[in-house]
Structure 1
Amino acid sequence: MKKKILYVEDDNTLAFLTADNLEQEYEVAHYDNGKAAFEAFKQEDFDLCILDVMLPIMDGFELAAAIRERDVEVPIIFLSAKTLKEDRIKGLRLGADDYLVKPYSMEELILKIEVFLQRSQKKSAIKKSTYTIADFVFDTVNYTILRNGETTKLTERESALLQLFIEHKNTVLKREVILTSIWGTDDYFMGRSMDVFISRLRKIFKDDDRIKIENIPRVGFKLVAPE
């Protein structure tokens, strides 16, 4: 069965060319505005979302945020003519998996799609697993941290990052290793996104002196926690 892709693009010519290429391998549902796309997302199951940023009615950033409220796992790829660094960072902070700048090559887009679909398949095959660090219980399947009866919800990327830290607890992890493991690439923009997620994790553990995510200058990070 073909994987199903939600594709949102208001440029009809570009949409036709891209969808025509993608439909050789995938089932593609194309919409030309964010509102209609989100209505479809609420009614159907999609394996991956490809979103333009500048969309009518509901723009791509708003659409991505709405999708993430309902589904923290589905991969999201932004395609945009907006080249500013701030736009890329905003997209990644919203939970997007990648941000391609127009004009893009179909070969690169299809490669990205395959990488994220394969990653999703691997994650879905993982059995339920929990980790305990000090007084915190981390559920890797439901992306939650439980402490003293209070639950904190994580994003998929935050959950993957925390799991990597826990599996290498009290060991220095190089920045490039973290970026390649979680983001699939080691570049400046992904590094900025990683720093945001690490700050978020630090806030969750800030009341417990036994747990720290230490910054190792010019090297990486280390999760310090009880054995």
Structure 2
Amino acid sequence: MAAEQVLIIDDDPMVRRLLEKVMTSNQLKSLSASSGEEALLLVRREPFDLILLDVTMRGMDGFQFLEQIRRQGIDTPVIIVSGKNEEYDTLYGLELGADDYITKPFNPVVLGAKVKAMIRRSHQLSKQTSSQITAGPFVFDKATLKLKKNGKEIFLSSKETMMFSFFLEHIGQVFSKEQLYQQIWGDWSVDDNTIMVHINHLRRKIEDNPKAPKHILTVWGLGYKFVIE
């Protein structure tokens, strides 16, 4: 079985070498790019299992790269690894479709574990073989991971797909933020911002009126539930 491959995007050669060593120590292959423009050529040429993305780069920065690939329908999991630690930057990266945001300096052991866990969950989701699930106005194909609402396709990022698929399998059940984070991110150390951003992003895509959601409901003091009227 071929080793999973990670794309490393960072304009600092020392950081690239460190990330390459972390990937090697976790039995993962890696390719590196020093710019967003170079990385775009690579993702169009071959598939990757995960992308490690810096934000601050000359030319096309990390946010611009992320926006580009999501617009093109590339749903490869993305972990932003950045020296920018302002809450705004974290939220903005997640809004654009990043799956996680880690600030520098980072713990190499923790980063390696997060990368492997995210790749594993992404592969588990893609291997689900049951065909279409219909729930209310939604039709979700678990083989192709495509979602349609009233016949119109809705593009979801990898984490949004995992969250919607989880909700769809547990209609009407209430889940705490801790439970959602463990199921989707594989970690009990909850990041409230990450949960809120992905819930809000998913609502904007699937709800007729995201400010008055009818499907992803907040259960105050408990968490969230997905309902079909």
Q: Same fold, TM exceeding 0.5?
A: yes
Asked if the contact 1:143–1:155 (Cα under 8 Å) also holds between the matched residues in 2, the reply is: no
Match of 1:214 in 2: 217
1:198 deviates by 4.4
Stretches of structure 2 lacking an aligned partner (at least 5 in a row): none
SS at match of 2:207: helix
Structure 1 residues 137-176: Cα deviation after superposition (integer angstroms, max 9, x where no partner) = 23333322141x4333333333322222222212222222
Match of 1:15 in 2: 16
Q: How does 1:69-218 map to 2 (within 5 A)?
A: 69-140=71-142, 141-147=144-150, 149-185=151-187, 186-201=190-205, 203-204=207-208, 211-218=214-221
Match of 1:225 in 2: 228
Asked if the contact 1:8–1:50 (Cα under 8 Å) also holds between the matched residues in 2, the reply is: yes
1:43 deviates by 0.8
Amino acid at match of 1:222: K
Q: Sequence identity, in percent?
A: 28
**Which structure has the greater CA radius of gyration?**
1
Cα root mean square deviation, aligned? 2.3
Give the Cα separation in 1 of the matches to 2:72 and 2:80. Answer: 18
Shift in CA distance, 152/195, structure 1 to aligned 2, threshold 3 Å: closer
1:60 deviates by 0.6
Q: TM-score, normalised by structure 2?
A: 0.86
Asked if the contact 1:202–1:213 (Cα under 8 Å) also holds between the matched residues in 2, the reply is: no
Asked if the contact 2:94–2:101 (Cα under 8 Å) also holds between the matched residues in 1, the reply is: yes
SS at match of 1:58: coil
Give the Cα separation in 1 of the matches to 2:170 and 2:78. Answer: 28
Aligned length in residues: 222
Stretches of structure 1 lacking an aligned partner (at least 5 in a row): none
Amino acid at match of 1:84: E
